[in-house]
Chain A
Amino acid sequence: MSKILLHGTEAICEGAIRNGCRAFFGYPITPQNEVPEYMSVNMPKVGGAFVQAESEVAAINMVYGAGGAGVRAMTSSSSPGVSLKQEGISYIACARIPCVIVNIMRAGPGLGGILPAQGDYFQATKGGGHGDYHLLVLAPCSVQEACDLTYLAFDLSDKYRVPAMILADGMIGQLMEPVELPPMRPLSAIPKKDWATDGGYGAERRVLNSLIIKPEELEPHVNELQRTYELIAAQEKRCEEYMTEDAEIVLTAYGTVARICKSAAKQLRKEGIKAGVIRPITLYPFPSEAYAKAAEHAKAFLSVELSLGQMVEDVRLAVNGRRPVAFYGRTGGNVPEEGEIVQAAKSALAKARLPE
């Protein structure tokens, strides 16, 4: 199939629809309005449901219901809207209902601004709602990946019965790039769910619940969740390593920022400094091994984010004190230029070379 030019938001929708998403619940917020707009046009075409909910809270609870009935369901919002969904997400995680939540991040905190940011890393990867749970978190860096990772998110979410999140910055939402769309997957090719509350008169009763009031029942349930997260960590870590084999300075970033880092790494190499980039594709589980491996020869790491420094904590855990990990970030909707990253990399390297 030939490539077509699509917005990141449209690519997310196509990735979802083509992998069996047949229920979308949303509430408008910039910069992700193109997702519900596209879904409102295209869900009816495939016999799916599109509902513009009365609020973000309603939308996530509709996902809870549809997902529980075994339908591949999705909701989308941007930072403040995703905050509103957190209670629902925690319930969904406890009830072990697969679904996909899209967060096209905007600048915060508070109502913030509408421009690109990555300030929701903690919320997405550490469990933004209450209780012990995690989401599978995928971070696309291109329009193609916005499609492919959304497609993948539905499969992973079903497989582990853990809700998945697409964590993208506002640039992914606006960016237009060529995309090769995957073929439309027939619903009959999607594995059956033997736990779904999808009706069945006289069949064995199925219950999906997030209220487990007896401690002797809740603890094993939470432990089972934990075992699932361990399994996910063992099987689903993904990252891209770019010129890291011989890198003395390893830049690391996710989403579109990683692409600016690649440009910066090329520039640094032109100036004779061996630079590489590690780009986590799964933010949870975090691909720590790539950092541990790079720490064997790198002199320093630099985490570049559209935040005050969030992923850098996971990078430091992964590097585990073996090398210095510096940070460079912009906030408020500003995006660092290649030159700023080159400078930050040079100063990180210079600091690392100073005698103790």
Chain B
Amino acid sequence: MIRILLAGQGGQGVLSVGKMLAEGGLREGKEVSYLPAYGPEMRGGTANCSVVISEEEIASPLCNEPDVLVAMNGPSFHKFTPRVRPGGIVLVNGSLSDCYAGREDVAVYDIPANDLALEAGDMRSANNVILGALCALTHVVTDKSVLNCFNEKFVGRPALIEINRRAFALGKRAIDGQDG
């Protein structure tokens, strides 16, 4: 079982990535749960979601002590890093945050997601840069499942599929050569 907490600012695509992880896990025949938490605003404000992917029935859908934290900005990184399980993983969007965790017992990966997303062709794909890094590190869902999700989500919009595929690939590559 893996518990993933994804957090960021509303509009950064945190909830989309969470849903894609859940959808990917489901397609691979696993038990999944996705629990979002956000304020009343569409953009701005904070957004986070808890995703659990498991081989067995999921009891609690909460991620109070996540195995993996994805932090898309500084405030989320500093708010949630203390909660990560000892030995857990933190992926932080280095374009919008420092990466000083203040603890030694978690592996912090600094992914400049916004910069890589610009390189991919659209800053709004920063969430999928991080998703690429997450998949490269944890193999929680296969690349194929993610790419299928892109194909479905952006059906009829091939340019967007291409940008997000590139973003995903750049995120994966960013993990190579980092040892946390």
Residues of A within 8 A of B (CB): 3-5, 30, 114, 171, 174-178, 256, 259-260, 262-263, 266, 335, 337-339
Known contacts A3-B26, A5-B22, A5-B23; A175/B61 CB under 8 A: yes
In this assembly, does B177 line the interface, its C-beta being within 8 Å of a C-beta of chain A? no
The answer to whether A256 and B61 touch across the interface, beta carbons within 8 angstroms, is yes
- Is A176 touching B19 in the complex (CB atoms < 8 A)? yes
Partner of A177, one of B34, B40, B60: B34
B62 contacts across to A, CB distance below 8 A: 260, 335, 337-338
Query: Which residue on B lies nearest to A341, using beta carbons?
Result: B60
List 15 A-B residue pairs with CB atoms under 8 Å apart, sorted by A's residue number.
A3-B26, A4-B26, A5-B19, A5-B32, A174-B37, A175-B61, A176-B35, A177-B58, A256-B61, A259-B61, A260-B60, A260-B62, A263-B60, A337-B62, A339-B64
CB distance from A262 to the nearest CB of B (A): 4
Q: Is the CB of A171 within 8 A of B32?
A: no
A256–B58 CA distance with the chains assembled, in angstroms? 11
Q: Per-position contact with A for B26-51: 1 when CB-CB < 8 Å, else 0?
A: 10000111111100100000000000
| Distance of B17 from chain A, by nearest CB (Å) | 13
CA distance in complex: A175, B40 (Å): 17
Known contacts A3-B26, A260-B60, A335-B62: A178-B32 contact under CB 8 Å: yes
Whether, in the assembled complex, B59 has its beta carbon less than 8 Å from a beta carbon of chain A, the answer is: yes
Given A5-B32, A175-B35, check contact A259 B40 (CB 8 Å): no
Per the bound structure, the CA–CA distance linking A244 and B22 in Å amounts to: 31
Whole-angstrom CA separation of A207 from B149 in the bound complex: 55
Chain A-chain B contacts (Cβ-Cβ < 8 Å), number: 53
Q: Nearest 9 CB-CB pairs, A to B?
A: A176-B34, A262-B59, A263-B60, A263-B59, A260-B60, A337-B64, A259-B59, A177-B33, A259-B60
- Cα distance A176–B37 when bound, in Å? 12
Which residues of B are found within 8 Å of A259, using beta-carbon distances? 58-61
Q: A125 CB to closest chain B CB, in angstroms?
A: 25
- B residues sitting closer than 8 Å to A (CB atoms) are 19, 22-23, 26, 31-37, 40, 58-62, 64
- The answer, among B26, B31, B33, B59, for a CB contact under 8 Å with A175, is B33
Q: With contacts A114-B40, A176-B33 known, is A262 near B22, CB below 8 A?
A: no
Q: Which residue of B lies closest to A258 (CB)?
A: B59
Q: Apart from A259-B58, A337-B64, A338-B60, list 7 A-B contacts with CB within 8 A.
A: A5-B22, A5-B34, A176-B35, A178-B31, A178-B32, A338-B64, A339-B64
Q: Chain A nearest CB: distance from B60 CB in Å?
A: 4
With beta carbons under 8 angstroms apart, the residue of B26, B37, B40 that contacts A5 is B26
- Inter-subunit contact B36/A174 (CB<8 Å): yes
Q: How far in angstroms is the closest Cβ of chain A from B63?
A: 10
Question: Contacts A5-B26, A260-B59, A263-B59 hold; do A177 and B64 have CB atoms under 8 A apart?
Answer: no
A269 to chain B, nearest CB (A): 12
Kindly state the separation between the CA atoms of A256 and B62 in the bound complex, as whole angstroms: 10
* CB of A238, distance to nearest CB on chain B (Å): 19
Contacting residues, chain A, for B59 (C-beta < 8 A)? 259-260, 262-263, 266
Residues in chain A near residue B64, CB distance under 8 A: 337-339
